Amino acid sequence: MSKSSAKSTPMTGQGAARIQSAAAKVNGGQVKAGTFAARAQRAAATNQGTPKSSK
């Protein structure tokens, strides 16, 4: 199955929160930059039209 035929579902804030929560539980409360959880949060913010944080 190629990516072009797969159905795309945009990341939501709730989905990103679940991913980030699970990652934080595994990593002692920390979510490092560049991880899947951080990228999911950025994608959700982009999809909602929220400006990105400038850290």
DSSP conformation letters of the chain: --GGGSPP----HHHHHHHHHHHHHHTTT---TTSHHHHHHHHHHHHHTPPPP--
**In tens digits, what is the pLDDT along the chain, a chain of 55 residues?**
455 566 888 999 999 999 999 999 999 999 999 999 999 999 999 998 856 665 5
pLDDT, position 2:
52
Which token pair is 6? 């797969």
pLDDT, position 8:
86
pLDDT, position 17:
95
CB atoms within 10 A of CB 2: 5
pTM (2 d.p.): 0.70
pLDDT, position 35:
95
